[in-house]
Amino acid sequence: RIGSASSLSSAIINTRLQELVRLFKERTEKVKEKLIDSDVTSDDESPVASPAAAAVPAPGGELEGDKPLGDDHYCEMLCCTFKRRPWLEHLKSFQLPSSIDPLTNLMYVLWLFFVVMAWNWNCWLIPVRWAFPYQTPANIHYWLLVDYLCDLIYLLDILIFQTRLQFVQGGDIITDKKAMKENYLRSQRFKMDVLCLLPLDFFYFKVGVNPLLRFPRCLKYLAFFEFNNRLEAILTKAYIYRVIRTTAYLLYSLHVNSCLYYWASAYEGLGSTTWVYDGEGNSYIRCYYWAVKTLITIGGLPDPKTLFEIVFQLLNYFTGVFAFSVMIGQMRDVVGAATAGQTYYRSCMDSTIKYMNFYRIPRAVQNRVKTWYEYTWHSQGMLDESELLVQLPDKMRLDIAIDVNYNIVSKVALFQGCDRQMIFDMLKRLRSVVYLPNDYVCKKGEIGREMYIIQAGQVQVLGGPDGKSVLVTLKAGSVFGEISLLAAGGGNRRTANVVAHGFANLFILEKKDLNEILVHYPESQKLLRKKAKKMLRSNNKPKDEKGGPGDALVIPPRADTPKLFRAALAATGRKGGKGPLGRLRWRLRELQELQA
């Protein structure tokens, strides 16, 4: 038994080894074919191991099939497997687009951020390095390293990004590489970009490393303004960025003034008079404090002694008054633009309250009006959505209406199967209305001329003997009153009360608007009438033969034949019915049979 068991195990091992050798040979042959002919491809580059081979445990003690596949990335070469970093593969496959849309491309906005950071480095630190003794031979290599890194960003912006920007010519968006490059070379932007990269750094070999030679780098201000426009277009609250930017303007003017004050103090001699900087403490903080007191005209400064100090202080005062007034005016405009909607809301509400007080409207009604104003403003951010959309072209209004309302309207059973363009035209006619808690949306017995779509909130259908029992609660996305749009014969009377349960935002489509649309879509009109008639029958509403005024008839009833005309037809029938009246009587009978 022992011999038979050992022979059996050795046979199994030999079988597995032979299968593994065969798999390695197949893999080697495939790799050789790829090396000889690179066009040869295979659907399964790595052969699937047999169950026997897959069950062989790995040296670590776990099966090969138990290894996680999602976290490891391998590269096959001959019969060996090497681990490869996935980010390298992504980096190799990354390519810049042949053309860049400067209005919508977020990658371009990110690149402008780096360009603006390089521009700010030059604008803020060139005056500091020129005036204050912060640039020394010990740290000069650090300053130059960052300087030339900023120059590299400028150069990449010229060679790679600006030559790929799309532009509009004659109403067409130009994406041709040669045309985009020529457009940039002819623009004012290209001239300023070349001017800001003037190689004045070669004068370092003659006059030393003077930061003022890098002043042309500050001329790339067009990139700063472009970045502001692009960033404000993608921010939801752009006024916050405008406030920060205006504050930065004020801080920069104080920064430049502090640099000029230290330069004037060094020119006169540090501590030579009571007006100049005495050289104690942190030089930048002390000079910045002096600049704040001067530009904001706080006062309490020592009097200038020399003619140079007097002229410098006068120029400072004049500049400070002008700059500070400009900053305050700009800040007022930014805050006013940010709160323009709130100001309009308060103005409308104040006018309405004044009107209600003048006509002595009851206090309960006034409170409901105030509640409507507050809820409508906080839920929509505006009082009337149509005021915002009326400024847009018809196509853009349709796009917005499709995104907001199409999913709800397309689910209405009455409109399924209708012309898609008819649905689009109908979306533009929807009107948004806000109902307060316990407001009646419609009352029992009134003529229905609207269809309601619940956008937000809930409404309750009331009925029963007392008319106060809740029959059903309709939630967001529900539709009611759609049969009223196609009712004839005096209109469709409401059969129940519908009350808003809490605050409810509804879309309303009026009957006259739908009739104006259906004139252009006769096929959809026929389909809607058939559906409405079928829905009326399914509702099991009481009808009498002649159709009373309370019936909601989709197609008006045919008028009865006059008695005198029927007597003439009967007389014609007794005479044989061969004349014109006889033929008419036969035609009328045929129509009655068709109607039956």
In a domain, 82, yes or no: no
pLDDT of the residue at 135: 92
Rounded to whole angstroms, the Cα distance separating 279 from 293 reads: 18
Distances 91 to 82, 85, 96, 159, 160 between C-alpha atoms, Å? 19, 10, 11, 21, 18
Closest to 528 (Cα-Cα) out of 548, 561, 555, 500: 555
- Pair 218, 337 in one domain: no
Q: Residue 277's Cα: distance from chain center in Å? A: 53
If asked whether residues 306 and 435 sit together in one domain, one would say: no
pLDDT at 4: 57
In angstroms, the Cα distances linking 398 to 248, 394, 416, 422, 477 are 41, 6, 19, 12, 20
What is each CA distance from 327 to 84, 257, 337, in whole angstroms?
A: 56, 15, 15
User: Which of 489, 519, 540 is at the close of a domain?
Assistant: 540
**Does 140 fall in a domain?**
yes
* 230 and 251 inside one domain: no
Residues 401 and 374 in one domain: no
Q: Are residues 395 and 299 part of one domain?
A: no
Residue 375: partners with Cβ closer than 8 Å, 6 or more residues away = 434, 436, 503
Contacts of 291 (CB under 8 A, 6+ apart): 254, 255, 257, 258, 261
Same domain, 230 and 246: no
Domain range for residue 504?
A: 391-540
| pLDDT for res 337 | 81
CA distance 197 to 527: 71
Counting runs of H as helices and runs of E as strands, what totals does the chain give? 21, 12
- 228 and 269 fall within a common domain: no
- Tell whether 245 and 203 lie within a shared domain: no
Residue 38 has a pLDDT of 47
Q: Is residue 53 part of a domain?
A: no
pLDDT tens sequence across 407-458 = 777 777 778 888 888 888 888 888 888 898 888 998 888 888 888 888 888 9
Both 332 and 453 in a single domain?
no
Structural domain includes residue 188: yes
Q: What is the mean pLDDT of each run of 10 residues along the chain (596 residues)?
A: 60 78 78 56 43 43 44 50 56 75 91 96 95 92 95 95 90 90 93 93 91 93 94 88 91 94 92 89 92 80 89 88 84 82 86 91 90 82 70 80 79 80 86 88 85 88 84 86 66 80 88 88 86 72 44 48 63 56 68 66
Domain contains 530: yes
- The predicted structure's pLDDT at residue 578: 55
Question: How many Å apart are CA 272 and CA 469, to the nearest integer?
Answer: 93
* Shared domain check, 446 and 342: no
Decide if 148 is inside a domain.
Answer: yes
This prediction's pTM = 0.62
Report if residue 568 sits inside a domain.
no
Which of these three, 350, 383, 416, is where a domain ends? 383
| Tens digit of each residue's pLDDT (9 = 90 or more) over 253-273 | 999 999 999 999 999 999 888
Shared domain for 416 and 379, answered yes or no, is no
Give the residue from 359, 383, 407 where a domain finishes: 383
Integer Cα distance of 214 and 210 in angstroms:
8
Strand partners, 414: none
Domain CATH for 401:
2.60.120.10
Could you tell me the CATH number of the domain that includes residue 371? Answer: 1.10.287
- What is the number of other CB atoms lying within 10 angstroms of the CB of residue 455? 18
42 part of a folded domain: no
Number of domains in the chain: 3
Same domain, 447 and 318: no
